[in-house]
Amino acid sequence: MAEALAREAFLDHVNTKFKLNIEGVDPIEITLNRVSDVIANGAAEGFSIVFKGPGEFILRQNTYKLEHEVLGTFSLLLVPVGKDEQGVDYEAVFNRLKPR
C-alpha cells in the first residue's frame, strides 16, 4: 500500500475524482487538485496533496476513508485549509523516511 500512496501515484491522478466516505451519509465526491513537494532530502521525503470538495459545508479535520478507481481504498487525515467559490480545499501531508 505504501507504493500506492507515493507522490508519483497521486501526480498521475490529479483532476480525478475520489469518494470520501462518512458513516451514515452518502459518499462525498472530492477532486484531487494538486500535489506539492514539502521536503526532499537524502533520508526523508514529504509532500502534500490538496482536494477540492463541495462548498455547501466544511468537514472538520479528521481521518476519512477515500476510494479511487485506480489507487484503491485508504484512509487519510484531511484538514480544511481554504474555501472559495468552487468549494472547500482539504490537505493531507505525507512525511516519511525513505527506505534504505
Closest CA to 98 of 31, 62, 45: 45
pLDDT digits (tens, 9 = 90+) for 81-100: 999 999 999 999 998 887 77
Q: Give the separation between CA 53 and CA 10, rounded to whole angstroms.
A: 17
Question: At 7, is the pLDDT very low, low, confident or very high (cuts 50, 70, 90)?
Answer: confident
pLDDT of residue 95: 87
Q: List C-alpha distances in Å: 78 to 52, 65, 81, 100.
A: 11, 10, 9, 29
What mean pLDDT do residues 64-75 have?
96
Does the global pTM surpass 0.85?
yes
Place of cell 525513505: 98
